[in-house]
Amino acid sequence: MLPNGTRIAFSRIRKFAGDGFQQEAIFVVNADGSNPRQLTSWGIAEEHVSWSPDSQWMVFNVAKESGHPTGSNLGIYLMRSDGTEQHLLYNGRENLPIHKAHFSPDGKKILFGCWSFTNQSNDICVMDVKGTNVVDIISTPDFDENFPSWGTAP
């Protein structure tokens, strides 16, 4: 939901869109359910959308189709909250899992789940809002860390 509570962003799934695979797109709707609007094109997975604290931007995960889901290009994308200025922030690591990108409370960083070649497991990573300076902040051998979320309380 938009930080001021007036709009909701979500991923809409179109099941089996003719090619045998489901497709997803990011939509926004007013908090009362009125005025649904599609912001992204249909793709294999366009999901886990998160608003920036100032409500001007959204970050989301994408798997861009290149013929089949196993040939997908995984990435974290940024766009304005009206759907314009969509661009890739982070291309993942060798098309391996990334998920659940979220803005930090100050809007300067993005937290997300990432793949560790060292541990052969999912870790928690953070990067700046420009998509640079990616750092594994939680990396535990023999464990997967998934679905991170920022908090504002100590």
What pLDDT digit, counting tens, does each position of 58-100 carry?
Answer: 999 887 554 444 445 578 899 999 999 998 888 876 556 677 8
Beta bridge partners of 122: 115
Task: Say what the pLDDT of residue 106 is.
Answer: 92
Q: Average pLDDT of 9-30?
A: 81
Name the more confident of 60 and 47.
60
Task: Say what the pLDDT of residue 26 is.
Answer: 92
Task: Say what the pLDDT of residue 18 is.
Answer: 65
CATH topology of domain 7-138: Neuraminidase (2.120.10)
- Token look-up 């990432």 returns 114
How many residues are given for the chain?
A: 154
* 110-149 per-position pLDDT tens digit: 998 887 666 677 788 899 999 899 888 887 777 777 778 8
Per-residue 3-state assignment (H helix, E strand, C coil) for the chain: CCCCCCEEEEEEEECCCCCCCCEEEEEEEECCCCCCEECCCCECEEEEEEECCCCCEEEEEEEECCCCHHHCEEEEEEEECCCCCCEEEECCCCCCCCEEEEECCCCCEEEEEEEECCCCEEEEEEEECCCCCCEEEECCCCCCCCCCCCCCCC
Task: Say what the pLDDT of residue 20 is.
Answer: 66
